[in-house]
Chains A and B, each alone.
Chain A
Amino acid sequence: GAVVSQHPSRVICKSGTSVKIECRSLDFQATTMFWYRQFPKKSLMLMATSNEGSKATYEQGVEKDKFLINHASLTLSTLTVTSAHPEDSSFYICSARPGGKGNTIYFGEGSWLTVV
């Protein structure tokens, strides 16, 4: 079946640095990608929706300048956490959808970010 790959699966970075998480659709073209953040034992909170070639649509309360999302190609979207702080430590999950609503949405395995 279709696969969405996230990399890295785990990353530790120092406070104040930036870290990039990649989300790739391996065998399909992802028109739309979704980025979520999940705190321990909590639900997935939608951070932003990105459509290939367009600026991402951020959810209310998500800082655009802190969480930079780029969807430059139909198989790759990146989430860059800029000037990371310990409170940014979380589990980040991406998902990808080929086409519009109703097409199957495939989830990545998630990326654990720890900011020390």
Chain B
Amino acid sequence: AQSVTQPDIHITVSEGASLELRCNYSYGATPYLFWYVQSPGQGLQLLLKYFSGDTLVQGIKGFEAEFKRSQSSFNLRKPSVHWSDAAEYFCAVEGNNDMRFGAGTRLTVKP
């Protein structure tokens, strides 16, 4: 089965600074990749997804992610972080009949 690794459990950045959250996947076929954000006690919100085509994907809230097949990575980026971006971020990969999530990265934004 496919799997996802998010190496960073917790990241702290200053407001206005740039952000990169790492995600590595393992999947035998073409991966369908996703980034979700979750605020405490809430459900998931889809930020962006990659199925095929342009490897740089634009999402909501100013986020983007780049698919790099050679590195099996799908890192999430944002040029300038806002305090409201503080949340838990999950990378996910969809298989034929399942969808699996990474462990998540908790983002803290310093004023």
Which A residues fall within an 8 A CB radius of B? 32, 34, 36, 41-46, 49, 51, 57, 91, 93, 95, 100-102, 105, 107-110, 112
Is residue B25 contacting chain A, with contact meaning CB distance below 8 A?
A: no
Determine if B103 and A102 form an interchain contact, defined as CB atoms under 8 angstroms apart: no
With A93-B43, A110-B42 as contacts: A105 and B103 at CB distance below 8 Å: no
Residues of B within 8 Å of A, CB-based: how many?
23
Of A46, A91, A100, the residue contacting B96 (CB under 8 A) is: A100
A51 to B103, CA, bound (A): 26
A46 to B34, CA, bound (A): 15
Determine if A32 and B51 form an interchain contact, defined as CB atoms under 8 angstroms apart: no
Of B32, B42, B44, B103, the residue contacting A42 (CB under 8 A) is: B103
Contacts of A34 in B (CB 8 A): 98-99
Which residue of chain A has the shortest Cβ distance to B34 in the bound complex?
A105
Which B residues fall within an 8 A CB radius of A? 32, 34, 36, 41-44, 46, 51, 88, 90, 94-104, 106
Determine if A101 and B103 form an interchain contact, defined as CB atoms under 8 angstroms apart: no
Contacts of B94 in A (CB 8 A): 101-102, 105
Contacts of B43 in A (CB 8 A): 93, 107-110
A44 to B102, CA, bound (A): 8
14 example contacts (A-B, Cβ-Cβ < 8 A) are as follows A34-B99, A36-B101, A41-B106, A42-B103, A42-B104, A43-B90, A43-B101, A45-B101, A46-B101, A57-B97, A93-B44, A107-B44, A108-B43, A112-B41
